[in-house]
Amino acid sequence: MTTENPTSLRMHLTQYLLLRNRLGHNLADAARLLPRFVTYLEELGHSTVTIADALAWCQQPPSPPGSSVWPRRMGAVRGFARYLSGIDPATEVPPIGLLPSRRRWRPPFIYSSDDIAALLGAAAALPSPRRAATYSTLFGLLAATGMRVGEALTLDSSDIDWDDGVVLVRESKFGKSRNVPLSDSTTEALARYASLREGFDRTPGNESYFVSLTGRRVIYESVFEVFADLRRGSGIGRQSTVAPRIHDLRHTFAVTVLLQWYRDGGDVAARLPRLSTYLGHRDPRSTYWYLSAAPQLLALAAERLEPTLPQVNS
């Protein structure tokens, strides 16, 4: 237990709910459940969230088998605990799966720069020079742009504007096309692969940018098999409770951009629609989700909104 006055936990809850509301989150469960959880802790005289207290509260009263009541309570508590962990180091965040439900939110693995370098290095070291060039370029593109795997695999050579450094993503997840600007280094890496690609044997009529060993368009199954081998061989995420996925490169890109925006003091809310458009989201609410992917993002968001939120007395 901390030495902080127990009433401060309720003040932190007020801040948390206001923060999530201003970031566009649906608060139906959190606003209803968390005040009850805080009351439970205050009655115990506890001012820090622990796994034991969270588990005990979520299971009171008993619910029928197969009910979603316990997992929904735990989901609300877990979100609040992730927020508190950036304020009170003694906070214990309940792990995923403690009270499992049929549909679980899986936290993303956030790659460090070393992780990405290890992945690209392992790809570049594949025995086949052709596969090495293809997969190191593919994974590098995903990390540098946050594109979906399917979007990268459907690229044709004509979709890259070399003069302006822009990739055309045609009819992505929601049936919309968009232009994705590239950095100079990413454009150069794509150009190097394009030069090598000209020497690859290809099936007649295949204009796909990424070419498989058989001369066809690279397919999902091959990408995931190669990624799994590279992940195991490089040791990425070996100490993590969450196994890295390819799609987590997209999560990492979004989290990195948001962290940079918060740290440079810019107006994140005003910039967010740009990131939503860049990522191909339907609206900014989908992009807000990334704030919950990294505790440091929530902490930075809270600091930015602090002047307008109720103050907590130590």
Q: 104 catalytic, yes or no?
A: no
pLDDT at position 159 is 95
Inter-residue contact 228 to 238 (CB < 8 Å): no
pLDDT at 312: 42
The yes-or-no answer on residue 148 being catalytic is yes
> Which position among 36, 238, 247, 274 bears the catalytic label?
247
pLDDT in the model for residue 270: 79
Q: How far apart are CA 82 and CA 220, in angstroms?
A: 33
First to last CA, the chain: 15
Among 222, 221, 202, smallest CA distance to 211 is for 202
The confidence score (pLDDT) of residue 293 equals 59
Torsion sign (Cα): 65, 69, 72, 76: negative
Identify whether 22 is a catalytic site residue: no
247 among known catalytic residues: yes
Is the model more confident about 276 or about 185? 185
| pTM score of the predicted model | 0.63
Catalytic one of 20, 73, 217, 250: 250
**Higher-pLDDT residue of 254, 226:** 226
List the catalytic residue out of 10, 197, 251, 281. 281
- CATH homologous superfamily for the domain 113-234: Intergrase catalytic core (1.10.443.10)
Q: Are 142 and 152 in contact (CB under 8 A)?
A: yes
Q: From the candidates 148, 197, 217, 251, give the one annotated as an active-site residue.
A: 148
The Cα 83–Cα 250 span in angstroms is 22
Residue 302 has pLDDT above 60, yes or no: no
Distances (CA, A) of 222 to 19, 100, 142, 153, 227: 42, 31, 16, 11, 8
Each domain of the chain, given as residue ranges in start order, spans: 7-108+247-308, 113-234
Within the chain, residue ranges assigned H as helices are 7-22, 28-44, 51-58, 69-85, 113-124, 129-145, 149-153, 184-197, 220-234, 248-263, 268-279, 284-288, 295-305
Q: Is 26 exposed, middle or buried (0-12, 13-18, 19+ CB in 10 A)?
A: exposed
What average pLDDT does the chain have? 83
**What average pLDDT score do residues 91-104 get?**
76
Label residue 99 by pLDDT band (50, 70, 90).
confident
Q: What's the rounded Cα separation, in Å, for the pair 88 and 283?
A: 33
Cβ-proximal residues to 310 (8 Å cutoff; 6+ apart), any chain: 11, 14, 15, 18
Set 16, 262, 288, 290: catalytic member: 290
Contact between 283 and 276 under an 8 Å Cβ cutoff? The reply is yes
pLDDT value at residue 240: 87
Catalytic residue among 170, 173, 192, 238: 173
